[in-house]
């Protein structure tokens, strides 16, 4: 087995071909990692979420880490790690065009892309649906490794 570094271009190709990754942030001083559906385009990871723990964490500290991988076997795999900055894409104002673009990208990539991000754990006292938002991660650094036989 040979483990090698991937180029930034190879890392971006893997991001563009993937649809689910793991988003890491810091919540109340502790690491917090969650899987998210996403689309990658031109140095940005676009996604959608209800407002909850990960959004509150990223609002408090916008520096995040994002990971995607594929493991075919213990000796054949790749992994990409991107470091970047969280940015909310609001429905109005200067970020509305980016929000609309995020919606368009997610819609093209996977019909019903919004379903996992629009669900919350069941609660008897839930009165109304919580608000949701679109966001992007502006990638500042990207790295990757792969193993081949």
DSSP annotation of 96 reads H
pLDDT per position as a tens digit, 118-130 = 444 444 444 444 5
CA-wise closest residue to 146 among 76, 84, 88, 83: 76
Summary mean pLDDT of the chain: 86
Predicted TM-score (pTM) of the model is 0.82
Helix boundaries (H) for the chain: 8-17, 53-60, 96-109
Q: Which residues have a Cβ under 8 Å from the Cβ of 84 and sit 6 or more positions away?
A: 45, 63, 64, 65, 66, 137, 138, 139, 140, 141
- Separation CA 2–CA 109 (nearest Å): 33
Q: How far is CA 10 from CA 37, 79, 99, 123, in A?
A: 20, 11, 27, 43
28-85 confidence digits (pLDDT tens): 999 999 999 999 999 999 999 889 999 999 999 999 999 999 999 999 999 999 999 9
């Amino acid at each position: 087995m040979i483990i090698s570094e991937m180029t930034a271009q190879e890392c971006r190709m893997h991001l563009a071909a993937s649809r689910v990754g793991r988003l890491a942030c810091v919540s109340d001083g502790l690491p917090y990692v969650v899987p998210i559906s996403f689309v990658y385009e031109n140095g940005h990871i676009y996604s959608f979420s209800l407002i909850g723990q990960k959004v509150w964490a990223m609002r408090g500290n916008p520096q995040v880490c994002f990971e995607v991988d594929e493991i075919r076997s213990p000796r054949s795999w790749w992994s990409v790690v991107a470091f970047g900055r969280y940015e909310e894409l609001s429905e109005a104002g200067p970020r509305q065009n980016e929000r609309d673009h995020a919606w368009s990208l997610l819609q093209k990539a996977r019909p019903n892309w919004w379903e996992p991000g629009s669900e919350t754990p069941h609660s008897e006292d839930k009165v109304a649906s919580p608000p949701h938002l679109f966001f992007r991660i502006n990638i500042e650094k990207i790295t990757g490794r792969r193993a081949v036989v």
